[in-house]
């Protein structure tokens, strides 16, 4: 049954990518290497678009480059990148953290890091869109959600590293839909980047491929959850 979840997510991504192809000239050859200038343009766009004001609070998002020696989350969970919101005095701060051995230079390629930036920005965009629609009053214990319904407090009871596999299984349905939204926002954002159509197509193809891999990974957790639920029914 997890195939139903992944197919719904893939359908959305394929539709978006096809719209992109038609808009950016489908005859453009899909090749090229993304330069540092394109990467910087993506960073500048994300930071510029991540700042704003709602009825009750201001918000902004920054990009940070860290590694296992100076970031406890990377040290504990070995992520390639992650996003986290922090509330401080009615200011909602978003933090996109990129895992680099050398913070001044990417471990792999700029194309790979653009994908990670766009995906994590997708989580931030999903959160901010929900906040703009609902105008929550920010407090230290505010139960923020995203457009998918994901709450950033959902993982608090699974704080210990040894409980994290349990978190991904038990909350797999909600987590999966949150990943779908992040993938969707990532593709939608490409069209707005101040880069050429050729560069947009190169990035879109890569982001689509990585999105499929991401959704397939999270769909496996749904499959494990269904197996556990089936065993419970048989008791």
Q: What is the pLDDT along the chain (235 residues), one digit of tens a residue?
A: 445 555 666 676 667 666 666 666 654 444 556 889 999 999 999 999 999 999 889 999 999 999 989 998 898 888 899 999 999 888 999 999 999 999 888 888 899 999 999 999 999 999 999 999 999 988 877 889 999 999 888 877 787 767 778 888 888 889 999 999 999 999 999 989 999 888 888 898 889 889 988 888 888 888 888 888 777 777 7
d(CA 170, CA 185): 25
d(CA 177, CA 8): 10
Check residue 105 and report its DSSP letter.
B
Reduced DSSP (H G I as helix, E B as strand, rest coil) percent helix, strand, coil of the chain, to 5:
60, 15, 30
> What does the pLDDT look like over 146-176, one tens digit per residue?
999 998 888 777 877 677 788 888 888 899 9
d(CA 178, CA 10): 14
Which two tokens mark 112? 């790979």
Q: Please list the residues that pair with 62 across neighbouring strands.
A: 95
Q: Burial, 203: exposed, middle or buried (Cβ in 10 Å; 0-12, 13-18, 19+)?
A: buried
Residue ranges covered by each domain of the chain: 2-234
Whole-model pTM? 0.86
Which two tokens mark 196? 């050429």
Q: How far is C-alpha 155 from the chain's CA centre?
A: 16
């Amino acid at each position: 049954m997890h195939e139903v979840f992944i197919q719904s997510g893939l359908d959305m991504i394929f539709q978006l990518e096809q719209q992109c192809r038609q808009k950016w000239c489908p005859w453009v050859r899909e090749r090229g290497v993304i330069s540092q200038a394109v990467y910087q343009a993506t960073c500048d766009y994300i930071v510029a678009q991540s700042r704003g004001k709602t009825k009750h609070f201001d918000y902004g998002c920054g990009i940070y480059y860290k590694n296992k020696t100076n970031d406890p989350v990377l040290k504990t969970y070995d992520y390639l990148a992650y996003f986290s919101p922090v509330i401080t005095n009615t200011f909602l701060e978003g933090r996109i953290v990129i895992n680099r051995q050398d913070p001044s230079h990417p471990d792999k390629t700029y194309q790979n890091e653009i994908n990670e930036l766009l995906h994590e920005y997708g989580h931030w965009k999903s959160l901010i869109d929900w906040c703009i629609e609902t105008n929550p009053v920010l407090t230290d214990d505010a139960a923020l959600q995203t457009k998918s319904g994901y709450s950033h407090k959902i993982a608090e009871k699974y704080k210990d590293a040894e409980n994290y596999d349990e978190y991904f299984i038990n909350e797999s349905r909600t987590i999966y839909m949150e990943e779908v939204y992040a993938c969707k926002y990532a593709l939608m954002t490409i069209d707005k980047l101040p880069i050429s159509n050729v560069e947009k197509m190169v990035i879109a193809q890569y982001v689509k491929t990585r999105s499929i891999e991401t959704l397939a990974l999270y769909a496996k957790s749904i499959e494990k959850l269904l197996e556990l639920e089936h065993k419970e029914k048989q008791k």
